[in-house]
Structure 1
Amino acid sequence: MKSNAVDFLTGIGASLAVGLIINLVEVVGIDHGVATFLAVAAIDVILLVTYNEQFYMQGRTLIFPLIGIVAASAYFILFYFIRNIHIVISAPGGFFDYVIYFINIAILMPLFEEITVRRLMFIGASHYIGPTFSAFFVSALFAATHSGLFLFAFIFSIIMCLMTWKGVSTYSRAILHGSYNGTLSMLWIIFGIDAVRQ
């Protein structure tokens, strides 16, 4: 996969563009979840057209959703049951807000992050500073955007960078990432609501 500084800067630019679009859309009174949906979906389409990567189904592709589900369940058990940390995810607008939230967290954002962080920034920086330093650098940037989860997000990103370097496709990584996010969010919602009711 040929890449360079332009790709790295494109990844940074796409990330900044999403933040800017979300802020602009929220100014006109649109809900944050919907604003995120519109911004990330628009940038995802542009990136997918610009950086077209053929989707191919392999035997190993089918294991990625399972890996995401198992990893999310293990993380949830560790934090909810063992460390007794409760996070309540709520959607004030009801069912529609939950649907938008899940589309964002399980489809749009994982695809966006796998294209920008791993496909563009990691590979682009690897060309100049090597894969090891690049993985640490972009993973630190990725983790910095996940407030309260820095260490875990950093480790997660390192693993995803390694998968990228080993040739795992953007779509396969996005499937793993999305199944992880979706499973974890669903568990927090189910058990969080239960915690609130108690």
Structure 2
Amino acid sequence: MNIDSFVLAISNRAQGRFAFNEAEVSLDSIVDTPGNIRLSQRVCRLRREGMESGWRTILIAELDFVDDGVQAAYAWAADVREHMAEPETADLYLFLLIRGIPDEEAARIETDDSFCRKFVWRTKESAVDMLDRTFLARPLNDDSSGDFSDPLQTALGAVATDHPWTRAHLSVWRDLLVSGKAGAELAQALSSTLSTNRERQP
């Protein structure tokens, strides 16, 4: 999978749910790093349709699995983060397309949430498979793939079956649960969805 096809997959998945754009060229380049590490980079920004704020920034890096390659991607991501406005740094994601990386190493990188949430492409994954592990996962009502199985989607579907009143909240809850938020921040965000709904009721 190359970086161009992956960006296209993000754009396609965002349709109808998120406004999509690519960041200015100054943040978007191919860099020859020390040690001759070839790092292809793109920056995408997504915001929920109809919202005036709340941009999520996705940094995408394509590279080979070589010594210091991941560190070069981290250094680039840290540099981009320094140029972002403080509220938006909380919604920063690094998507790594690393050719030849073992699955166990990819999993180790994903457990490190220092300075941003990270997702690493697995060799056997398509772009769609990878996106389904992120906040861009298919909406609950998307039946475009009959064989798609996602434990979170299954669990939320069971909640909707047992408690039909939750159906109006499931898509928002899903996005929150895969957003990378944790602890009190996640609890507050989930609670606010219910409060907003109550305020809208006559």
TM-score (norm 1): 0.29
Choose between structure 1 and 2: higher helix proportion.
1
Higher relative contact order (CA 8 A, sep 6+): 1
TM-score (norm 2): 0.29
